[in-house]
Structures are given as structure tokens and as C-alpha cells.
Amino acid sequence: MRYMMLIHNDDEAYATAPQEVYAEWAAFNEALNKADAVPGLRLKEASAATTVRSRNGKTDVLDGPYIEAREQLAGYFIIDVPSLDEAIAWAQRCPSVKYGSIEIRPIVDPHS
């Protein structure tokens, strides 16, 4: 099963993370790499987001993220593992799990 692991950070909590978090990220990325995971991307803070929607021909451009929430999408990575249990283990290893949450979303297989 392929899972997209959506990292939601509490930016405020993350800002207070000790310096070690960078070493933890480096180690985590190395482990992901070894497990043939699709490398993820890190997003800038939610305060840098812009949201666009169109309704009845009128387009709104809003300053800020899609939903105002304490925890905001901060990045993702993709793993291919036998079951949800392994995906949960990867979520647990992710350094951001302590500063927010990891949402595990199964990826739709277009061939099935």
C-alpha cells in the first residue's frame, strides 16, 4: 500500500523545538531514503499561504491557509509499505509527530 504522510505542524510549538530536531530530521530522511520512500517536501509556514476559490464566476483570493487551525500542513512524504501498521510506525518516527500530527492517507491506485 502506498501512503501519503501529511505532516501537520503546530508552528508555534515547532518554533520552540530544541536544536536536535534538525539532527532528527536528517536521520529520519536518511532512514526514509534507505527504505526507498519518495522523498518529501517541506512547506513554508502557513502564514505564507494564499488560498484561491471560484464561485459563480467570482474569484476570491484570500490571504492565509485553507482552514484556520492550530495545526497546519507543513509537508509530506510518501511510503510504500505492506500495511497501515508499518505506516503508523513511520508516522511515529517522524520528528514532527511531537509538534503536531501526521495524517496517513492511502493513495488511490489508478489500476485497481
Partner 1 sequence: MGGVTSAAHPVKRGNEASRAAERVARESYGRLVAFLAARTRDVAGAEDALAEAFAAALKSWPADGVPANPDAWLLTVARRRQADAARRRQTRQAGEEHLKMMADEMEEAAGSAGDIPDRRLALMFACAHPAIEKGMRTPLILQAILGLTAQDIAAAFLIPPATMGQRLVRAKSRLKDAGIPFAIPDSDQLTERLDAVLDAIYAAYTKGWAELGEPGAPQLAEEAIWLGRLIVSLLPAEPEAKGMLALMLYAEARRAARRGPDGAYVPLDEQDRDLWDETLMDAAEALLRQANAGGPSGRFQIEAAIQSAHVARLKTGANTWPAILALYDHLLALTQSPVVALNRAAAQGEIEGPIPALAAISPLEGDKRMAGYQPYWALKGHLLRRAGNTAEAHEALTIAMGLSTDAAVRRYLQDQLKSLPSN
Q: Quick check: 99 binds partner 1 (CB under 8 A)?
A: no
Grid coordinates of 104: 496517513
Locate the DSSP E strands across 11-49: 38-42
Residues 52-91 interacting with partner 1 (rule: CB under 8 A): 84-86, 88-89
Comparing CB distances to partner 1, the nearer of 1 and 23 is 23
Q: Quick check: 93 binds partner 1 (CB under 8 A)?
A: yes
11 Cβ contact list (under 8 Å, min separation 6): 45, 46, 47, 72, 74
Comparing CB distances to partner 1, the nearer of 1 and 48 is 1
CA terminus-to-terminus distance, the chain: 12
Q: Quick check: 112 binds partner 1 (CB under 8 A)?
A: no
Least distance from C-beta 110 to partner 1, angstroms?
A: 25
Q: Quick check: 107 binds partner 1 (CB under 8 A)?
A: no
3 Cβ contact list (under 8 Å, min separation 6): 78, 79, 80, 81, 84, 87, 104, 105, 106, 107
Q: Quick check: 27 binds partner 1 (CB under 8 A)?
A: yes
Q: Which residues form the interface with partner 1 (CB under 8 A)?
A: 20, 23-24, 26-32, 34-36, 84-86, 88-89, 92-93
